[in-house]
Amino acid sequence: MEKLTQNAISRLLNGENVSKPCLQVLAYKRVVSEGQPRYRLMLSDGTHSFQTCIMMGPLIPRLEKGEFERFTIIQLNQYVVNTVQDNKKVIVILDPEVKWKGTEINGKIGSPEMFNFGAPSNSNTNTCGGRILAPSNPSPLRNPAFSARSSTTNGSGLFHSRNTSGEPFNEQRGISSSPNLDMNLNICRIQDINPYLNRWAFKGRATAKTPIRTWSNAKGEGKVFSFDMQDDSGEIRITAFKNECDRYYDLIEVGKVYTVTKGTIKTANRKFSQVNHDYEITLNSDSIVLPSDDNDRHCPKITFKFVKIKDIANYNVDSIIDVLGICRDVSELVTLTQKNTGRELKKREISLIDDTETEIRLAFWGNEAENFSASEGSVVMVKKARVSDFNGKSLTSVSSSFVQIDPQLTEAYGLKGWYERMRDNMQITKLSVNSATSDSGTWRTLNEVSVESISSNGGSLVFSAKATIVQVGRTQIYMSCPTTGCKKKLVDMNNGFYKCDKCQRDFDNYSPRIILSLAISDSLNEVWISMFHDEAEKILGVNGGELMAMKDNDETQFDELMTSLNFKSFIFRLRSSIDHYKEETRVRTTVLSVSPLNLVEYGKKLLSKLREMDI
């Protein structure tokens, strides 16, 4: 009997702080709740037994390997007491430690009775908070034992130090006046999270979750996933590496509310995260992430702000939007090779339309592309799709995107109804060029290369133009890293070796890379463009090594070759994008490809253009 913690069951169900209680496993069974497998255990302290003790996530394999067999005595190093619907309590076991194996005990200790909430000694059950962290964890979270305040909420306790009197919500949350609450825990609004907070915690709803991704590079390898959390003040991104990745991946479910405390707060890099917050959080071994009250009033339910497809035209590249559309077409899975890295990519495109009678194409990648299946006419909802400039304007699904086919939403039913009425009677405008059917896409003249015109096009424009080289600027030939896909400029160690900072390696060789700066002109404008290696080799007719040798050994020949580019005309495939450099905003244009000007073909193109114009 002394192996078990006396009255632990009644004490902790009554909201008391019980440090590392030892309990005996009497039974368990597998259940599936909201699609997630978990185990429900009956635990006993010798006096009482309680049968809604939950193990989930990473504990499941341990349990299934027999670690917590019947009669095992486990010590709960970390656990949470949750209140679920009808004020029922659930003990969530987070960190069980086996004290005695079931075979060592081989029998039930004491004569435990089923714990009864109706018993007089438990009359204050409802006034106690439900969510308790074992104090063994040196955490600022303790049983707050809120009384009056939390009783007005749905009974879940720990983080209900918020004022529930209906005051404006931008008061600092969680600084409780409760005399029992000797903690310095700052329940922050998510928007207020910053690296200068000493002790903080926040509560938010998971709005997105990425798959686990593994990496391997010069610095090492590992795995990682991220999730986004939102309260009524804002949203923040949380990232979990390696151990924390394993620990939290199964726990986090989109739509659920969690309380988070401890972790590294660092500056968010807007380049990589579209979440609107200056900071992001990396979980570490001290971090605590607890399932919380999914109905918390500070954590609004996930909402969708569907952008009408027609209006996507006005969104900048890289914007993150929600979209709802009828799937008009699903392309085959295609495999393509990434030019820079040689990596193989799998892609599937679908096209979406809505009642603005506008069509946009949406790309899925990798597994998502392989697994995507929806038929023509179904409604496709994507939360957090990224606006892209591929083939005009298009959308792409990213790791934090959430895709649903035929969602149970009023808007979806409305859209479906519209489609059934209108499907044969529509004038569809396309925002995306279908890459399968397009020639080289849109043709433009160089007067359209201006900050104003590119800006109004979402910051980037890909187009074809016929133009003539009118000036050759600086020609750079540099020693680049010979690693496939790495073009980093090498540092000459002057000992026969060249160092790549990116690959963190020394090489005894390098590959010469060319960058040309050219002014090209058509009848309307002159534009400076950058032309990189492959395309430069094409128009120069020499390779990088030859050009480098020529520049070193025969400058006259080199100058002649460069000068010979003047007044040559080509069909350029160009990308112009807005570039912010220091205080300046300007357009940067790079060559995607260059092809010879075929006068007959080009003439035909102009003719058909004239006919279109009805001249």
Partner DNA sequence: CCCCCCCC
- Residues 535-574 binding DNA (CB under 7 A) are 573
What is the CB-side half-sphere exposure of residue 180 using CA atoms within 13 A? 15
Measured from the CB atom, is 380 or 477 closer to DNA? 380
**Taking the complex as a whole, how short is the minimal distance between the CB of residue 129 and DNA, in angstroms?**
31
- Mark the segment that binds DNA (CB under 7 A) among 164-172, 199-207, 302-310, 434-442: 434-442
- Residues 222-261 binding DNA (CB under 7 A) are 222, 224, 226, 239, 241-242, 244
| Residue 524 and residue 453 in contact, taking contact as beta carbons nearer than 8 Å | no
Does 220 bind DNA (CB under 7 A)? Our answer is yes
- Kindly report the CA angle at 290 between 43 and 252, in degrees rounded to 5? 105
**Three-state DSSP class for residue 236:** strand
User: Bridge-partner residues for 464, per DSSP?
Assistant: 443, 573
CA dihedral 145, 151, 152, 158 (to 10 degrees): 30
| Residue 413 and residue 441 in contact, taking contact as beta carbons nearer than 8 Å | no
Compute the distance between CA of residue 253 and CA of residue 287 in angstroms, rounded to an integer: 18
**Taking the complex as a whole, how short is the minimal distance between the CB of residue 476 and DNA, in angstroms?**
22
Does 340 bind DNA (CB under 7 A)? Our answer is yes
CA dihedral 120, 126, 132, 135 (to 10 degrees): -50
Measured from the CB atom, is 386 or 444 closer to DNA? 386
Does 215 bind DNA (CB under 7 A)? Our answer is yes
Does 316 bind DNA (CB under 7 A)? Our answer is no
Does 219 bind DNA (CB under 7 A)? Our answer is yes
**Taking the complex as a whole, how short is the minimal distance between the CB of residue 400 and DNA, in angstroms?**
7
Compute the distance between CA of residue 99 and CA of residue 104 in angstroms, rounded to an integer: 10
Query: Which residue of 6, 126, 164, 210 would you call a contact of DNA, by CB under 7 A?
Result: 210
| Residue 512 and residue 498 in contact, taking contact as beta carbons nearer than 8 Å | no
Among positive and negative, which fits the CA dihedral 518, 520, 526, 530?
negative
Measured from the CB atom, is 17 or 340 closer to DNA? 340
User: Bridge-partner residues for 500, per DSSP?
Assistant: 505
- Residues 374-403 binding DNA (CB under 7 A) are 386, 388-391, 394, 396, 398-400
Residue 568 CB partners (closer than 8 Å, separation 6+): 468, 469, 539
**Taking the complex as a whole, how short is the minimal distance between the CB of residue 459 and DNA, in angstroms?**
12
Query: Which residue of 273, 453, 521, 530 would you call a contact of DNA, by CB under 7 A?
Result: 273
Measured from the CB atom, is 108 or 488 closer to DNA? 488
**Taking the complex as a whole, how short is the minimal distance between the CB of residue 239 and DNA, in angstroms?**
4
**Taking the complex as a whole, how short is the minimal distance between the CB of residue 310 and DNA, in angstroms?**
20
Measured from the CB atom, is 441 or 473 closer to DNA? 441
**Three-state DSSP class for residue 309:** helix
Does 284 bind DNA (CB under 7 A)? Our answer is yes
> What is the DSSP annotation of 401-425?
EEEEES-S-HHHHHHHHHHHHHTTS
Residues that bind DNA (CB under 7 A): 210, 213, 215, 217, 219-220, 222, 224, 226, 239, 241-242, 244, 266, 269, 272-273, 280, 282, 284, 336, 338-340, 343, 345, 347, 363, 365-366, 386, 388-391, 394, 396, 398-400, 435, 440-441, 462, 573, 575, 592-593
